[in-house]
Structure 1
Amino acid sequence: MERHIAVPLTSEEAETLHAGDYVYLTGTIYTARDAAHKRMYEALEKGEQLPLELKDNVIYYMGPSPAREGRAIGSAGPTTASRMDKYAPVLLDKGLRGMIGKGRRRQTVKEAIVRNKAVYFAAIGGAGALLSRAIVSSEVIAYDDLGTEAIRKLQVKDFPVIVVMDTMGNDLYETASLPYRRDFAET
């Protein structure tokens, strides 16, 4: 199914999404990678406030390249999501509603997704130049000293993603290959 969704994303809206849905996001999303996740995690451990509101927001695991003239951002492809798995359950428990990345997630992240009625989206790796065209604006809002790993606030219009894991825990990485598997014990 193809859907057009406004972000931030409510739990009610998230519950209507299913693994395998093609989704076009429009609104505000944030970027954060390894170093930013580590800082946010440490801030939470110290009882400090985070530089962004997590409730119902979506974080894109991406570090952009410099913007070309006339563009809001350079190439903006996804990074491997599992690098954030140590931190993701805590952020989901604090209200994060969605994540965008590529690759499989650990069981602890899957459990946190279901527990918090969240969604994990995949963006197409290797398509960073194409994905950047859906980014209308980009503004560093925290951890500027981290360079490309700083937290950015992005305005997106019809940003293409696929629901990889839905609020029920259905995981496209597990189910999509089932029709193509052979039972080698029978041959």
Structure 2
Amino acid sequence: MKLTTPLKDSDIENLKAGDTVLISGIIYTARDAAHARLVKLLDEGKDLPFNPKGQIMYYVGPTPAKPGNAIGSAGPTTSYRMDPYAPRLIEVGLKGMIGKGARSDEVKEYIKKHKAVYFAAVGGAAALIAKSIKKAEVIAYDDLGAEAIRKMEVVDFPAIVINDIHGNDLYEMGQKEFNRED
């Protein structure tokens, strides 16, 4: 399935855990240090450095770009480190998150309640993923280096739906299938 950002509720409603997608458009990058700053801005009633409505956040700390490339290797980082911050960003309109690993029960509840989605990018395929990133620019927190917030233009960025609005979790589904006695 092809998705284009910003995501709409109708895009999210059609997704099911296990679906593979190709994402095109703008996505934003941030890891835990940047997330803490974003939530602090919200707590202070200040504007974020980008409008989160309908957007996707990719949990990545890319390597520097080689000459002629938009970005270096850009593989996903472990998502649970963003779990303390994700509900607040989902509340203000964030529709998608990309990372690796399981999410907390609280994040999964916010995904259902606010019609959001959690995707996994394939770990170990960082150089391949980088080929789908056509443009990348730091838009906030340059002092964080690789963890700065970037605005990235992507074409056919590959991802897998892990948590959908129906409460499904691909990781849990896979474990049940593996542990099933025939």
TM-score by length of 1: 0.95
Question: Which residue of structure 2 aligns with residue 109 of structure 1?
Answer: 107
Amino acid paired to 2:63: S
Q: Deviations over 1:121-145 (max 9, x none)?
A: 0000111001000000001111111
Q: Deviations over 1:44-88 (max 9, x none)?
A: 111111101010000000010000111100000000000000000
Question: Which residue of structure 2 aligns with residue 18 of structure 1?
Answer: 16
- Structure-2 separation of matches of 1:14 and 1:182: 29
Question: Which residue of structure 2 aligns with residue 90 of structure 1?
Answer: 88
Question: Which residue of structure 2 aligns with residue 156 of structure 1?
Answer: 154
- Aligned-residue offset at 1:178: 1.6
Question: Which residue of structure 1 aligns with residue 127 of structure 2?
Answer: 129
Q: Deviations over 1:148-176 (max 9, x none)?
A: 11100000000000000111121001012
Residue 41, structure 1, aligned to residue 39, structure 2: yes
Question: Which residue of structure 1 aligns with residue 138 of structure 2?
Answer: 140
- Aligned-residue offset at 1:177: 2.3
- Structure-2 separation of matches of 1:180 and 1:151: 38
- Aligned-residue offset at 1:182: 4.7
Q: Whose Rg is larger?
A: 1
- State the secondary structure of the residue aligned to 1:70: coil
Runs of 4+ residues deviating >4 angstroms: none
Task: Give ranges in structure 2 of 5+ residues lacking alignment.
Answer: none
- Aligned-residue offset at 1:93: 0.7
- Structure-2 separation of matches of 1:41 and 1:175: 32
- State the secondary structure of the residue aligned to 2:36: helix
Residue 79, structure 1, aligned to residue 48, structure 2: no
Question: Which residue of structure 1 aligns with residue 66 of structure 2?
Answer: 68
Residue 99, structure 1, aligned to residue 97, structure 2: yes
- Structure-2 separation of matches of 1:45 and 1:98: 21
- Structure-1 separation of matches of 2:48 and 2:114: 19
Question: Which residue of structure 2 aligns with residue 172 of structure 1?
Answer: 170
Amino acid paired to 1:160: P
Amino acid paired to 2:137: E
Task: Give ranges in structure 1 of 5+ residues lacking alignment.
Answer: none
- State the secondary structure of the residue aligned to 1:38: helix
- Structure-2 separation of matches of 1:85 and 1:179: 26
Amino acid paired to 2:171: Y
